[in-house]
Chains A and B, each alone.
Chain A
């Protein structure tokens, strides 16, 4: 399957948007980890990221004001890099058992809850627009 020059440029554009978003998102998570020592930094980044991604995904589905490129830079690039599963899992494994159970449960419950709050915000926006 041969691809046209336009398709190749589009792929390059997407890669660029995802890379730039990823650069910024991971740096903000790093700032969180310095500002909030221990498990709190990753927890805060993961929950905030869930809230924002929940809003963006449901905004795209229900409202559709934002351009597709915003999705690549903000959702795929920035927010997916701002949040992390690997650090979360490794931190849980390296914590005492009771702390680990509480940390995993709290991150799951607050993360899923934050997605629902993001969905709620997108529905409010849907009502306004």
Chain B
């Protein structure tokens, strides 16, 4: 058995680099820079993958590596909060409110899709 800390750390190193790459890629595509599409994307995709491995009944090792490590690090609450506060203070208050709601609704949709797929 592998110590969970190694699994969490190894998954996290990959997840953090993938988040950085996703942010660079998505923010390069997005025309409307006021909505932080990069962080929104990682939060929705990461929630979907975490829910999928959880609902499929993965073992402890996979949950540590992919769940706590990779998905936990791929998604981020701190960047999301800073993004929201910055939108609010620069006067984009509607965008800030929508961004805060959209992250949760997107994560819910991802988790719902994972649940549906896991019951097939």
Partners in one complex: yes
List chain A positions with a Cβ less than 8 A from chain B: 14-15, 18-27, 29-30, 33, 46, 49-50, 52-54, 57, 76-77, 79-90, 93, 104, 107-108, 111-112, 114-116, 119
Q: Are B84 and A19 in contact (CB under 8 A)?
A: no
Chain B residue with the shortest CB-CB distance to A52 = B78
Q: Is A86 in contact with B71, judged by CB distance below 8 angstroms?
A: yes
Count of chain B residues near A, Cβ 8 A: 48
Say whether, besides A23-B10, A25-B12, A81-B16, A86 and B81 are in contact (CB < 8 Å): no
Known: A86-B75, A112-B85. A15 touches B20 (CB 8 A): yes
Known contacts A50-B82, A76-B20, then 19 further A-B pairs from the complex at CB < 8 Å, ordered by chain A residue: A14-B20, A15-B20, A23-B10, A25-B16, A26-B9, A26-B73, A29-B68, A30-B5, A30-B8, A57-B82, A80-B19, A80-B78, A81-B12, A86-B74, A87-B68, A87-B72, A88-B77, A89-B47, A89-B110
Pick the contact of B16: A18, A49, A87, A119 (CB < 8 A). Answer: A18
Docked pose: A90 CA to B118 CA in angstroms:
15
Name A72's closest neighbour in chain B (CB-CB).
B20
B residues lining the A interface (CB < 8 Å) = 4-5, 8-17, 19-20, 42-43, 46-47, 49-51, 54, 64, 67-69, 71-82, 84-86, 100, 103-104, 107-108, 110-111
Determine the chain A residues whose CB is within 8 A of the CB of B16 once the complex forms: 18-19, 21-23, 25-26, 76-77, 80-81
